[in-house]
A and B are shown apart, each in its own frame.
Chain A
Amino acid sequence: MLDRYQRITKTAIIRACVVLCLVLLPMGEAQLAETVLKFENDEQSALYLRLTEEFRCLKCQNQNLADSNADLAQDLRNEIYQAVVSGQGRQEISDYLVARYGDFVLYRPPVKKITYLLWFGPFVLLLFAIIGGWRLITRKPVIDAPEPSDALEDARRRLED
């Protein structure tokens, strides 16, 4: 019984220390920096990071939103941030951006009729290549004998004559 009380007290003291540290730290010389964007939880932060990497900066040669310094990319980042913070999901945000800018904005092309070849082509090719390779391995043994030489051919012809 006593044991348990001790443990609880101990936890309480540790907790108090942590809180105290958190309160006191900013008052010290070194101030803790804050992230530029604030999110309610880690999921939102991860979603934001993921989305800015999945969408393309529309006027850059080949850059995602996260890496681009272009104004347009900044605006879109802001919009995505607002949407994420207001609790919208990945699909919702993606649908909205695609409706406005088309498939071009997506770095992961959607699977639809015109992209079937893109998505399935490599695997169809792999299938064919494996079938071809399998047939090469399991084909009937070719006799390693040398091909009849011209001299032999010649002799045979003479014999037949």
Chain B
Amino acid sequence: MIAELGQFALILALCAAVVLAVLPFVGSFIVQPQWMALARPAALLQLLMMTISYFALTSTFITNDFSVLYTANTSNSQLPLIYKISGVWGGHEGSILLWVWVLAIWTGAVAIFSKHMPAILLSRVLSILGMISIGFMLFVLITSNPFERIFPVPVDGASLNPLLQDIGMAAHPPLLYMGYVGFSVAFAFAIAALLGGELDSATLRWMRPWTNIAWMFLTLGIALGSYWAYYELGWGGWWFWDPVENASFMPWLLGTALIHSLAASEKRGIFKAWTVLLAVLAFSLSLLGTFIVRSGVLTSVHSFAADPARGRFILFFLAIVVGLSLLLFAIRAHKLKSHANFELISRESALLLNNILLLVACAAVLLGTLYPLFLDALDMGKISVGPQYFNTVFAPLMLPVIMVVGIGALLNWKKDKLKGRQTTLLALIVLSLIAGAVFAMQFNPYKITAAAAIGLAIWVVASSAYGVYYRLRNKRNRLSAAMHTPAAFWGMTIAHIGMGVFTLGVALTSMFADEQTVRMGVGETHEIAGYEFRFDRIEDVRGANYIATQATFVVTKEQSAVSTLVAEKRIYNVRRDTMTEAGIDGGLTRDLFIALGEHLGEGQWSVRLQYKPFIRWIWFGTVFMALGGLLAAVDRRYRVAATTQKRAEAATKAKAVSAAAGAAS
């Protein structure tokens, strides 16, 4: 009954989406205010129906209703409650339903928070979001219905993949979807701008906070996925350049470019067509990511051909969305004129360089991800493109971005001679390099590349901090001036500092990590990087829905206790999968990592010991970036704009009222 209710709500949501996509859209062209006024209620109705539908599916998980096929395939009565709730997005059908729900949430949010947007713009933006909803709702209903029943009803469910029975993995997909579905809002604004033939700074001001928030979620989602891979997959790596990871990383790269070009477009009226194109591409890559992950094309191009309905649908939808938007861009982009000029040394140039490098980096990731698929599909041979390729191509493209991030932020718009800052900046460069050289002595062996990388990270932080000082240099009361500095400025600074923190983590982990696979029995010790690991005991323990072999290690450094680590090998009851749970001692300057390998007989185990210096800084850096994105989005400026508009509206209304009163008297 609940499942049918869910399906019915989904169909009603589809109806709302159709109304949303058609009436306000047509109304905005033939100037029918009543039709346009339908946009907001339709968007809210769609959100309500999708919420009912989503909760209906969740309730079949919680109540163990295994007469629903998807629930029977994904859940199990033994599953802890939290994983029943997160299990809803543990399989294909549910995760696509989550995708559509998240889209409805974004659409509803735009409807709620954009009351003062011009009616024509608002109705077009919401309509375009409605069109995307139609596509995905049809996808769910036609190819991936999560509410389908099964008869005879199985006694119990097949259970959730143990890899996904983890808090990090429970939160990862919703964050990621909030991120890349969120780019649909920027996309809708871009298409509306193309349709209207203009992109003024008011529209751009509407666009910026939405893009920032989506980017923040995407940043957190990717970071959480990386952290999860680190502690749950049992290998101690944090990024694998896996196609699934790349699928979320490409929209991130373009989203980052978009945030920067939006700034230039809004403040200086330049790069307008370019900004629109980036918004279209960022969302297209989000769709491509959904296609890559959901079509089965990754396992092999042939498995995609074997079960083609889903893959074909998304590919078709992708082709329509990308094709139509690019066609529209080709026809209308010339209308979005950018008049302003700028000189070589200016903030515009820095943002242009940022955009060029991020775009090319994204193209490299795209090429590396799709190349093997295309070669295989064209029967031109099978190749693998792995981390060795991506690191070789990606690193030289990102290095200049990191080098100029601090300077770019303190350049003036239009034209800058760097007057009065050259000496300070030069001194900062030298000091950063010296600090890097000194700091690198902490590590063995001494590496000149490490000194350079640490120097670079310090330079990013130092130049960003100098940007703050430079902004406040002439203020009499620095503290109160700092309090009144716009949140957007702090957001930018914090995100850039995050970049430096991230760089430091990546450089130190990749250069000084130590790893050894050793044969150990109880009582034996092994030392890496100055830490002595003693195999203390091994025992069997029973978890909620698994049995584990648990190995305890005592770690000491120079005779003093550091920590006790517990590494597990779990066998899950229902699916009989074996899972490695690593034992990790996390710290600010290093992680110690133990994974229990196979039993070698006679009480001996293969044990993988790892020392990972500064690895947490990678995720700290991303948290800084996300925080920066959030701060930039909540800047008063965006709300002030809305209030001013509200006041103007009120004034017009008052005028109209008094005019009417005048006419009446």
Chain A interfacial positions (CB closer than 8 Å to B): 29-37, 49, 53-54, 56, 61-62, 64, 66-67, 102-109, 114-115, 117-119, 121-122, 125-126, 129-130, 133, 136-138, 141-142, 144
**Is B397 close to A, CB under 8 A?**
yes
B148 contacts A by Cβ under 8 Å: no
Partner-contacting stretch, out of B40-48, B464-472, B516-524, B617-625:
B516-524
Given contacts A30-B524, A102-B382, A121-B367, contact A35 B518 (CB under 8 A): yes
Task: Flag if B242 contacts A62 (CB, 8 Å).
Answer: yes
Name B residues whose Cβ lies closer than 8 Å to a Cβ of A.
Answer: 235, 237, 240, 242-243, 298-299, 339-344, 349, 352-353, 356-357, 359-361, 363-364, 367-368, 371, 375, 380-389, 392-393, 397, 515-521, 523-526, 534-535, 600, 606-607
| A133–B353 CB distance below 8 A | yes
- In the A-B complex, list the 4 residue pairs whose CB atoms are closest, starting with the nearest: A107-B386, A108-B388, A122-B364, A33-B526
Tell me which residues across on chain B come within 8 A of A62, comparing CB atoms. 240, 242-243, 298, 386
Residues of A within 8 A of B388 (CB): 54, 107-108
- B-side contacts of A129, CB under 8 Å: 356, 359-360
Return chain B residues, CB-CB under 8 Å to A32. Answer: 524-526
A-B contact list, 30 entries, CB within 8 Å:
A30-B525, A31-B523, A32-B524, A32-B525, A33-B518, A33-B524, A33-B535, A36-B606, A37-B517, A49-B515, A56-B384, A62-B240, A64-B386, A67-B235, A103-B382, A105-B384, A106-B383, A108-B392, A109-B371, A109-B385, A114-B375, A115-B371, A118-B367, A118-B368, A118-B371, A122-B363, A125-B360, A129-B359, A133-B356, A144-B340
Cβ of A104 and Cβ of B384 under 8 Å apart? yes
CA distance A144 to B585 in the complex (A): 61
Give A125 to B357 CA distance when docked, in angstroms. 10
Residue among A30, A32, A118 having the largest count of chain B Cβ atoms under 10 Å: A118
Q: CA of A144 to CA of B341 in the docked complex: distance in angstroms?
A: 8
Greatest chain B CB density within 10 A among A29, A31, A66, A115 is at A31
A114/B516 contact (C-beta < 8 A), A121-B363, A121-B367 known? no
Q: Chain B contacts of A33 at CB under 8 A?
A: 518-521, 524-526, 535, 607
Tell me the complex Cα distance, A31–B520, Å: 9
> Contact at B243–A142, with CB atoms within 8 Å?
no
Nearest CB of chain A from residue B71's CB, rounded to whole Å: 26
Chain B interface, DSSP helix/strand/loop, else mixed:
mixed
Closest Cβ of chain B: how far from A100's Cβ, in Å? Answer: 14
Asked, given contacts A121-B367, A137-B349, whether A107 binds B299 with beta carbons under 8 Å apart, the answer is no
B93 to chain A, nearest CB (A): 21
User: What chain B residues lie within 8 Å of A107 (beta carbons)?
Assistant: 384-389
Distance (whole angstroms) from the CB of B353 to the closest CB of chain A:
7
CB-nearest residue of chain B to A109: B383
User: Given the complex of chains A and B, what is the CA–CA distance between A117 and B367 in angstroms?
Assistant: 9
Given the complex of chains A and B, what is the CA–CA distance between A114 and B374 in angstroms?
A: 11
Having A35-B518, A62-B242, A144-B341, one finds 6 other A-B pairs with CB under 8 Å, namely A36-B606, A56-B384, A62-B298, A122-B363, A125-B360, A138-B344
Residues of B contacting A67 with CB < 8 Å?
A: 235, 237
What's the minimum C-beta distance from B302 to chain A, rounded to whole angstroms?
Answer: 14
- Cα-based distance from A103 to B384 in the complex (angstroms): 7
> Which chain B residue lies CB-closest to A126?
B360
Are B523 and A104 in touch, CB under 8 angstroms? no
Q: Which residue of A lies closest to B234 (CB)?
A: A67
Assuming the contacts A61-B298, A122-B397, asked whether A137 and B344 have C-beta atoms less than 8 A apart, the reply is yes
**Contact at A130–B339, with CB atoms within 8 Å?**
no
Collect the chain B residues with CB atoms within 8 Å of residue A61's CB.
Answer: 298-299
- Tell me which residues across on chain A come within 8 A of B352, comparing CB atoms: 133, 136-137
Question: By the criterion CB–CB under 8 Å, are B356 and A30 in contact?
Answer: no
- Tell which of B339, B387, B606 touches A144, judged by Cβ atoms closer than 8 Å: B339
A45's closest neighbor in chain B, by CB? B516
Residue of A nearest to B242 (CB): A62
Contacts of B515 in A (CB 8 A): 49
Q: How far is the CB of A130 from chain B (nearest CB, A)?
A: 6
Nearest to A66 among chain B residues (CB) is B235
- In Å, the complex CA distance between A102 and B383 comes to 8
Q: Whole-angstrom distance between the alpha carbons of A49 and B342 in the complex?
A: 51
Question: Are the CB atoms of A118 and B389 closer together than 8 Å?
Answer: yes
Give the docked Cα–Cα distance between A144 and B381 (Å): 55
A36 adjacent to B343 (CB under 8 Å): no
Cα A107 to Cα B363 in complex, Å, equals 19
> Shortest beta-carbon distance, B517 to chain A, in Å?
5
Residues of the B chain whose Cβ atoms lie less than 8 Å from the Cβ of A121: 363-364, 367
Most buried by A among B298, B349, B352, B383: B383
A34 to B517, CA, bound (A): 9
Return chain B residues, CB-CB under 8 Å to A144. 339-341
